[in-house]
Amino acid sequence: MKKILISLLALGAAVAASGQPLFERYKAQLTEPRSYDCFRTEGKMRIDGRLDEAAWRRAVPTAPFVDIRGEGYPEPVKKTSVRMLWDDRNLYIGAELEEDDIVARLTQRDTIIYHDNDFEVFIDPDGDGQHYFEIENNARGVVFDLMLDKPYRSGGSFFIPWNCEGLQLAVHCDGTLNKSKDKDRRWFVEMAIPFAALKRDFNDPRDYKVWRINFSRVQWLHQGQPEENWVWSPTGRVDMHMPDRWGFLRFVDAPVGARIAPEPMTLDRGAYKLLWAMFYAQLDNKAAKNNYLRTVDDFLLTDAERATLPEGGELAVEATSNAFLLSVTLPARGERYTLDENGGFRIGKIAPRVVKNWMWMRLKEDWSAQDYRAHFAKIHAAGISGVLFEGYDETVFRLCKEAGLEAHYWKWTMNRREVMETHPEWFAVNRKGESSYDQPAYVDYYRFLCPSHPEVAEYLAEDYLKCANLPYVDGMHLDYVRFPDVVLPVSLWKNYGIEQTHEMPEYDYCYCDLCRERFKAQTGRDPMDSLYPMEDQSWINFRLDGITHVVDKIAARVKGDGKFLSGAVFPGPSMARRMVRQDWGNWPLDAYFPMIYNGFYYEGPEWIGRSVAESVKAVNGRAAIYAGLMFPDITGDDFEKALDEAYDNGASGVSFFDGPDDEYLVRLKAYLDRRGFVPAN
């Protein structure tokens, strides 16, 4: 039970070493704790110290004890090992201690037993490093048992009045006690520790299938010299009160001697190791500067140290000058590990992250119902939650929903050639005076409407409401909610033989008579008179507001009827405003699908993350952001990178255009499983 104080010399060395990586600095305290598989007994155990029952003979002994400081220190000159068994009532411990002179002078219970050569057991059933138990005995079988609230390094105190109620302990000496003239061989300790004696706060220790446990042998080899400390699982310091360094005791529900593979350890060792490295750094920083480190970056973690976290693991630090909480979230395990300034380690359950992934899909004229069923089943199994259909077919929508997928109707908004015969006056006009009615920009199907015509917003709102109420439609998905491209994505310039390094009149809309009149009424200026319309913020805002007005009308009608409304938009509100006069960050939609087609802009996967982050910030929790990904641009190694960038920057899911194929559906499923993400539906 010794209380170990850190010397000023050791403290100075720790501070001087602060430039070292944590894993190197605390190497001795971060070695892998030992583990032991504890099997059930066979028959009744007789606690006499002889360890001669068949069950003891079948139990596997631990590895021999080592110096408490671990690697690099001399091996103990006397061998020690332990065996363990259990039944419904007790944990059984059998220790064998090699000894050529068995000596024990103390005779009074709860005296400081380690003044004799002794054997010690340390038990922490729930593994939280707090409120643990210690049982010591000498070769006479005299017991010193106590409970500690927390380790001494954290200001812990001991409670000697605690007795291990019902403890059975016996010692057998293979030699003669307290007769130093002859040569002895060894002594044995046999314990039956009742589970009931280790209950705290109504928690049954049997609820925990893995305990933390350690054993120590204090040996006085030479009179007047310091004692030897030999242990089963080394702590890295002359301090047994480091529960994080104790071994793992796994209870196997099978008879001793059975050939059965025990369940694997449930603790993520990499995350555990990193948290404790940070813990020791906090203690050193407090001792040196009377303060704790406040952020993860303050720890100067190396790439190798961060790599010990499983994929998706996230570190966090909360600290004041007097307290701290380190945590790591492990989504794939649905767990969060926390570690506080007292060494209190806890594992909490977290709800898995639910993501909703989508595909944009055109109707297939040559597909049968069976083709659709097979396709929907496949993408649903891979982690796709919904399909955005360009067009409507009642049977297809029904089959989609029967497969457990959401079915949304994807329909163009401002790009509406179907009204060319009935309302030619509705179409937008460019700065050259050309109407998209008969002079469309770029391609023939670019027939964009002008939002200033009041009939346009009403027409679109009614159309979307009618479509939203078709059978099996879960929601409406707006597309082309904008003007024609003022500036195309750079990769498309070559398609049209243009370089749009500045705004060009033939691609700048809407300069129709109605828009000009309304703007002049508001500002007293005709936009056609502006020498630099691309810099006229009032004129830009006028057109942004025009599209927003149309969206507001549609949303009021569709959402007012209880229907879900989403939109495909350009990446990041800032780019959308500049490139297509689309101010979508201020729209009242339920979800946004920014089309972050990185290949269109000659960008890598990292750009996806930056765009998602801007989008998430813009909506500020008012709506979901689903990152639209162009599948052919994210194949190969970029596939998982693109997903990381989307999810790690706050996307609620992703949506794929033009894919993914079967190979990548398998990779999508593996990725979601690895990250611990649960697909919606």
Q: How far apart are CA 242 and CA 229, in angstroms?
A: 14
Contact present, 173 and 165 (Cβ < 8 Å): no
Tokens (6 digits) for 97: 């201690």
Mean pLDDT in residue range 111-118? 96
Would you state the pLDDT for residue 2? 55
Would you state the pLDDT for residue 533? 84
CA distances from 510 to 344, 483, 516, 526 (A): 65, 8, 8, 12
pLDDT over 90 percentage in the chain: 88
Name which of 431, 437, 405, 435 is nearest 418 in CA terms: 437
Q: How far apart are CA 431 and CA 503, in angstroms?
A: 11
Instruction: Name, of 8-22, 131-145, 491-505, the range with top average pLDDT.
Output: 131-145
What is the secondary structure of 88-124 as a DSSP string?
Answer: SSEEEEEEEEE-SS------STTS-GGGSSEEEEEEE
187 within some domain: yes
User: How many Cα atoms are found within 13 Å in the side-chain-facing hemisphere of 621?
Assistant: 0
What is the secondary structure of 463-474 as a DSSP string?
Answer: HHHHHHTSTT--
What SS3 class is residue 37? strand
Does residue 16 register a pLDDT over 60? no
Same domain, 599 and 658: yes
Q: How far apart are CA 330 and CA 147, in angstroms?
A: 32
Q: How far apart are CA 597 and CA 621, in angstroms?
A: 23
439 within some domain: no
Same domain, 385 and 332: no
Residue at token pair 């290949």: 599
Would you state the pLDDT for residue 19? 75
Same domain, 160 and 298: no
Does residue 7 register a pLDDT over 60? no
| CB atoms near residue 483 (< 10 Å) | 28
Mean pLDDT in residue range 198-210? 84
Q: Indicate the range of 7-21, 104-118, 251-265, 501-515 predicted with least confidence.
A: 7-21
Strands 358-362 and 475-479: unpaired
- Using the 3D structure, point to which of 349, 365, 400 is the last residue of a domain: 349
Does residue 524 register a pLDDT over 90? yes
Burial of 570 (0-12, 13-18, 19+ CB in 10 A): buried
3 within some domain: no
Indicate the pTM of the whole model.
Answer: 0.70
- Using the 3D structure, point to which of 189, 223, 255 is the last residue of a domain: 255
Would you state the pLDDT for residue 10? 41
- Using the 3D structure, point to which of 349, 371, 394 is the last residue of a domain: 349
Same domain, 551 and 645: yes
Q: How far apart are CA 450 and CA 428, in angstroms?
A: 4
Burial of 404 (0-12, 13-18, 19+ CB in 10 A): middle
pLDDT tier at 357, thresholds 50, 70, 90: very high
Cis peptide, bond prior to residue 164, ω within 30 of zero = no
What is the secondary structure of 432-463 as a DSSP string?
Answer: TS-BTTTS-SSSTT--BBPTTSHHHHHHHHHH
pLDDT over 70 percentage in the chain: 97
Same domain, 286 and 232: no
> Could you report the per-residue pLDDT of 209-265, keeping only the tens digit for each?
999 999 999 999 998 899 999 999 999 999 999 999 999 999 999 999 998 877 777
659 within some domain: yes
Q: Indicate the range of 211-225, 387-401, 487-501 predicted with least confidence.
A: 487-501
pLDDT tier at 26, thresholds 50, 70, 90: very high
Q: Which domain holds residue 577?
A: 355-426+451-487+543-679
**Who contacts 287 (Cβ-Cβ below 8 Å, separation ≥6)?**
6, 11, 14, 15
299 within some domain: yes
Same domain, 618 and 674: yes
Does residue 312 register a pLDDT over 90? no
Q: Which residue has the higher pLDDT, 205 or 370?
A: 370
Same domain, 195 and 214: yes
19 within some domain: no
Mean pLDDT in residue range 72-88? 97
Same domain, 164 and 291: no
Same domain, 239 and 93: yes
Does residue 334 register a pLDDT over 50? yes
Would you state the pLDDT for residue 1? 55
CATH (domain of 615): 3.20.20.80
Query: What's the chain's average pLDDT?
Result: 94
Same domain, 282 and 246: no
Instruction: Tell me the sheet residues that pair with 565.
Output: 476
Contact present, 382 and 665 (Cβ < 8 Å): yes
192 within some domain: yes
Burial of 398 (0-12, 13-18, 19+ CB in 10 A): middle
